[in-house]
Amino acid sequence: MKRVLAGVAAVTGIVLTGCTSASSDNPTISTIETTVHSTVTQTRTAAPTFRPKPATTVAPLPPGQAPAKGEVERACPYILSSQDQGPNSLADLEGDRVYRTTVLTGMKPVGCRFYFWSDQYQAIAEIATRSFSSALDAHNAMVLTAAAGNQNQGYPNLLPGVDAISYRTKFLGRDGDRDWACVFSKGKLMVTVRTQRTDTSLNARLIAKAIAPKI
């Protein structure tokens, strides 16, 4: 005869706290255990199903060169590219002039990428999206994505209902793994903003705050 046991699936993850250091740029992330109660035929520990892909760098996009596969040159639906188009543009918030903008069509909703106007025409910022089956899955994926980087900094309620984590990762090839990114979860969606900035994490968060209401 099959016995039905009252099981407890324990999921351990990083959650965001409101604790900050003396500098507003260095909040902390703490770890707690969340217990989910359910009735199951056996007792087991739930394992994460999401595994972040290794961070990769982005190739430049010089004049006359077609965008890479999966990129289409057109305006980003979440933010203006240039300060000439209006305030709070990507150029304003990231701190560099934008020469070309592409939409990443392999994502749903689409992502965006922005390229510098001179020098090596390198990518200066990227917005990447991923949808999940639940808000909890999106939140856990956000935590795991940041954990794959370094120097994690948690920002609970970056906007109402939007938690975020800043972290360093790869983006511009010559920077190694020192570029700042900001990943946030909003409902069932995880959004990652990567920048070429190595000097401050603020710019990626400002971009995240600007696009979160529109994505």
Residue pLDDT, tens place only, 19-62: 333 334 444 444 333 333 333 333 333 446 899 999 999 999 99
State the Cα–Cα distance between residues 64 and 67, nearest whole angstrom.
Answer: 9
CA–CA distance, 131 with 111 (Å, rounded to integer): 12
CA dist., res. 132 & res. 23, Å (int): 34
Burial of 81 (0-12, 13-18, 19+ CB in 10 A): buried
| Range list of β-strands (E), 92-203 | 98-104, 111-116, 123-131, 150-159, 162-169, 179-186, 189-195
Residue 167 and residue 34: Cα distance in Å, rounded? 23
Nearest to 152, CA basis, from 24, 29, 21, 25: 29
Neighbours of 48 (CB within 10 A): 13
Q: Which residue has the tokens 């089956």?
A: 133
Q: Which residues contact 67 (CB under 8 A, 6 or more apart)?
A: 61, 73, 100, 102
pLDDT of residue 76: 98
How much of the chain exceeds pLDDT 70, in percent? Answer: 78
State residue 120's pLDDT score: 87
Instruction: Report, as ranges of residue numbers, the positions in the chain whose pLDDT lies below 50.
Output: 1-47
Residue 48 has a pLDDT of 61
